[in-house]
Structure 1
């Protein structure tokens, strides 16, 4: 079933599952096109949720390696008119910088979403974790960071 056929199904749950299946199997050269097609679904909340899951899955696998940068640029172009999705890609790029100890700004981390702060608080960059232990947005983030600092071998 191609993306156009998926659009014909009136049940958004079926379309969501079908989109996830297609996105999980898409070849790299076809990925941008498929993401764009999914985002034409009339149920924008569902379509963006499917694309978000895809972005998170792909970014988690790619961020440590050199292929991430080109992929992130291509995906950013594909979702450029979707603020939440572009923000998520920016945050994956910041997570990559923090995790790989590339240049990053503490203010960017402190201005980021709870999602990114929590992932970073449970990570391995002690500078970032220390910042979040002191000034993370929520008590959960601050406590996670403090626990990570207390037990670094368990993170």
Structure 2
């Protein structure tokens, strides 16, 4: 199937799969244009979902390195009119700060989504894990943080 043809398909599932495929293969130079184009799809829920998966994949790959900052700024500009995507990028930046032990504020982590709190509770920053073990938003987050602290103390 020609990917361009699939993007004209009225079935959002076909377009979603085509977008994911294109986003997986996009070059750095074309990434912003492709993300912007995907976000013009009439099915905004599907388009944002495809871009969210892409952002999560790329941020997971890039967050430990210096290339992350420029990428995150560019993606923030491409997604600025989509609050959930912009928030996710901000949370990836906070996650990066926590994991790399860059400056971060406990209140920012405590005000973050369950997604970020849970991800951080299973991370490597014991200061963040202790905060989440004590006052994480949900019982699941607190339990995950406590269990992770126990694992870290045993090793």
Quickly name the TM-score band, shorter chain normalised: over 0.9
Deviation at 1:89, TM superposition (A): 0.2
Equivalent position SS for 1:64: coil
Distance 2:154 2:23 in 1: 33
> Does the CA-based 8 Å contact 2:133-2:141 persist in structure 1?
yes
What residue number does 2:102 align with?
102
What residue number does 2:20 align with?
20
Deviation at 1:2, TM superposition (A): 5.7
Deviations 1:45-91 (A, max 9, x none): 00000000000000000000000000000000000000000000000
Equivalent position SS for 2:103: coil
> Does the CA-based 8 Å contact 2:121-2:129 persist in structure 1?
yes
User: Normalising by structure 2, what TM-score?
Assistant: 0.96
Aligned positions of 1:104-123 closer than 5 A = 104-123=104-123
Number of equivalenced pairs: 154
Deviation at 1:7, TM superposition (A): 3.5
> Does the CA-based 8 Å contact 1:95-1:120 persist in structure 2?
yes
Gaps of 5+ in 2: none
Distance 1:2 1:71 in 2: 26
> Does the CA-based 8 Å contact 1:148-1:154 persist in structure 2?
no
What residue number does 1:145 align with?
145
Gaps of 5+ in 1: none
The root-mean-square deviation of aligned C-alpha atoms, in Å, is 1.5
Deviation at 1:154, TM superposition (A): 8.2
Aligned positions of 1:1-155 closer than 5 A = 1=2, 5-152=5-152
Deviation at 1:44, TM superposition (A): 0.4
Distance 2:3 2:153 in 1: 46
Deviations 1:82-124 (A, max 9, x none): 0000000000000000000000010000000000000000001
> Does the CA-based 8 Å contact 1:6-1:19 persist in structure 2?
no
User: Normalising by structure 1, what TM-score?
Assistant: 0.96
